[in-house]
Chains A and B, each alone.
Chain A
Amino acid sequence: MQPKNLLEELMESLRILPGVGPKTAQRMAFHLLERERDAAMTLATKIQESVTRIGHCQRCRTFTEEEVCDICSNKARNNALLCVVENPADLLVLEQSASYRGYYFVLMGRLSPLDGIGPEALGMDHLEVILDEGNIKEIILATNSTVEGEVTAHYISEMAASRNISTSRIAQGIPMGGELEYVDRQTLAHAIEGRTTY
């Protein structure tokens, strides 16, 4: 159905959010207009600012409004360790588990031939440049234990092996077919400590 007026356009726009159907969108729109007009204005500004200013970290590719993110600019971390994750959400989960103090590389996806997602789309060429700097001694592969996550892990492990860099895979406690984002912190902390040579 084509939106006929501004109110309907607002409801239609809200539906891009995950889990928001027509009924929820309606409830949200009325809530904002009836009770939260100021907050709604702040929300609108924040969304606009974020979309304009937040880009990718030049080093690890995660979201940041700086050229290089806070983690990458923190010199106190262990620069011999690099943990490769699929998404910024995975990075966040690992940071919250507080069991890891190295750096990250965020692929922003995973290899999937049938979806046309290849190494270039995931910044693998950039990862090669980072590996060639020579500081990294171990790569921790924290891609999901799905088929695509496994293929991605294999690809990076071969890339690392060709440079004599060792790789380990977090796997313990994460079921095959598991997505990192949904794994609880305890399991994850255990998984990263108990990583095995890949």
Chain B
Amino acid sequence: MSQYTYESEGFILHSRRFRENSVLLDVLTQTHGRVALIARRSVAKKKSAFNPYQVFSEKLFRWRGRGELQSLQVAEQLRVFQLEKMNLVCGLYCNELLVKVTGKHLPMDSIYTVYRDTIKSLASTTTPEFPLRTFEAKLLMELGHALDFNEDCQTHHALVDATDYYYHPEAGFSAATLGNGECKVSAQELAALSAHAVDDEHFPRAAKLVYAGTIKHLLGTKTLNSRDLYRDLSKFKLSK
């Protein structure tokens, strides 16, 4: 049977050792979505202190094979993004989110661009929440869970003016209560969310609530370990 060869730019989302001489890679590629690749550690590299499969570096991948697990031929380094401290945790959160909410082998060209922009921002920003919320918003949109700020999910008419709005990840926004599992945002918060005004004072709390709720819904029974880490770290900061 003939072997297909593929080539694409990509980011390693996760790597782990497999047996003595191999590494299993979860790679987000520009043209083929997420793929699982097996890389054989060359004998020369085995004793080296350097791991060539670091996350947060964009590489040109060439791989071949068919089915679930394909075989990496070459990974050529294009650019490395140096993420530090809290931003590093945020980067790992993006990786974990992609691995847990997206399927394999689905073309995700726009998600790739969003991811690269996010990692690029995380390499320099002092406010990692901004790129993180943008990443969440765009990812949800690409996955078909864009937030609808125009229609009331209960009346199916335009959202009426109110002081508070209710949001449920399975339904959407409404001016009237939605019952169990909803969260409440103010009119100013809804406006900031709708405009994606990340630096507006009304944005952070509402965005965190609404995006986290929707993501939790998408995850089902899966948990986000990097979010727990983020929470621990914020707790340490508060107790200083």
Binding site for B on A (CB under 8 A): 18-19, 21, 111, 113-116, 118-119, 146-147, 150-151, 154-155, 158-159, 161-162, 174-179, 182-183
Contacts and interface: CB of A to CB of B under 8 A. Distances in A.
A147 B85 CA distance: 10
A114 B239 CA distance: 27
Contacts of A158: 233, 236-237
Given A151-B88, A154-B88, A159-B236, A146 B51 contact: yes
A80 to B, nearest CB: 21
Given A114-B14, A115-B16, A155-B233, 17 more contacts: A113-B224, A113-B226, A114-B92, A114-B95, A118-B228, A119-B229, A147-B56, A150-B84, A151-B229, A155-B229, A159-B236, A162-B237, A176-B54, A177-B52, A177-B54, A182-B47, A182-B48
B109 interface: no
A111 B229 contact: yes
Given A155-B232, A175-B50, A179-B51, A147 B88 contact: yes
A72 to B, nearest CB: 26
B49 A182 contact: yes
19 contacts: A19-B20, A21-B20, A113-B96, A113-B224, A113-B225, A114-B92, A114-B95, A114-B99, A118-B228, A147-B88, A151-B88, A161-B236, A161-B240, A175-B49, A176-B54, A177-B52, A177-B54, A179-B49, A183-B49
A29 B232 CA distance: 50
Contacts of B232: 119, 155
A17 B98 CA distance: 35
B44 to A, nearest CB: 13
B49 A154 contact: no
A151 B226 CA distance: 10
A36 B226 CA distance: 51
Nearest to A156: B236
Contact of B50 (A113, A151, A161, A178): A178
Nearest to A154: B85
Nearest to B224: A113
B128 to A, nearest CB: 13
Contacts of A21: 20
A147 B236 contact: no
Per CB-CB distance, the 4 closest pairs between chain A and chain B, nearest first, are A113-B225, A113-B226, A182-B49, A158-B236
B55 interface: yes
A183 B50 CA distance: 10
B236 A118 contact: no
Given A161-B236, A179-B51, A147 B229 contact: no
Contact of B225 (A18, A118, A182, A183): A118
Nearest to B26: A114
A146 B99 CA distance: 20
B89 interface: yes
B88 A177 contact: no
Nearest to A161: B240
